[in-house]
Structure 1
């Protein structure tokens, strides 16, 4: 029995009933990561965990408040949720040439990534809330603070064994 070739008229794309929420759109997440690295990264560099921490904090004012308080040394370690969309956005950002992975497994903005972040900031009406929150946090969340949280996880994990 011989199969007939597939015709383009046989392929149908139907609209999905629900739109993808803005915070899961790849263009939003890639831009968010560039802003995080530009505003909060030392030398435009961040670890993967730091990117996840800040991205999660941007979900709500309460999350961001807790992270800023921790970074200021007046609050306890915040809850961190790891979002697969951050990893996916990193992959795309690397592919777009906005971010590169360094030998030390940290991520660094390229000149192109810096340019994107600066253009978003200059426009003035894009990602205003995110930029405001990131400016509150700025360089306060050091990699040593991030490592402090990771060490607490290790201790808790060891206690639960």
Structure 2
């Protein structure tokens, strides 16, 4: 086929059709960054947390089952051995993107904290009642009740069982 024939062939009417979203919302970087900002702002002292705590909180927030298990764990109704926390590579990518965008900064090696622009982002998300409604309700219910020490013990129990 000659070049002109190809252009003639391609010169036809076309339409766009809406297709399903290829990536589920909870795997999108913008959703994950929003969750990170909320976790740090609502549930972490000094808006600072270890990467492990962020992974555990992310696991808890992703599904109703994870949320329910985490709340039972915090209340002492289930043992750490009865849960399986999933560490998501997507969360690490979201952390890297948030660091690159200046939303987070690294402190003390394995910890991150909100920057002033991250705090502004958190306030904007908190101000929108429709945005992350279920997640905000869960995080406000916990507040800062699960400390890094308690979480570390839970993770050690799960990892070394």
Q: TM-score range by the shorter chain?
A: 0.7 to 0.9
Q: Which runs of 5+ in 1 are unaligned?
A: 1-14, 157-161
1:59-100 CA distance string (max 9 Å, x none): 222211221222233332232100011000000000010001
Q: Which runs of 5+ in 2 are unaligned?
A: 1-17
Q: Tell me: CA distance 1:122–1:152, structure 2 relative to 1, closer, same or farther (3 Å).
A: same
Q: Tell me: CA distance 1:73–1:20, structure 2 relative to 1, closer, same or farther (3 Å).
A: same
Q: Tell me, what secondary structure is at the counterpart of 2:74?
A: helix
Count of residue correspondences: 142
- Whether 1:152 aligns to 2:144 is no
**TM-score normalised by length of structure 1:** 0.81
Query: Which stretch has the larger CA shift, 61-70 or 20-29?
Result: 61-70
**TM-score normalised by length of structure 2:** 0.81
1:70 aligns to what?
A: 73
- Whether 1:50 aligns to 2:50 is no
Name segments (4+ residues, structure 1) moved above 4 Å.
15-18
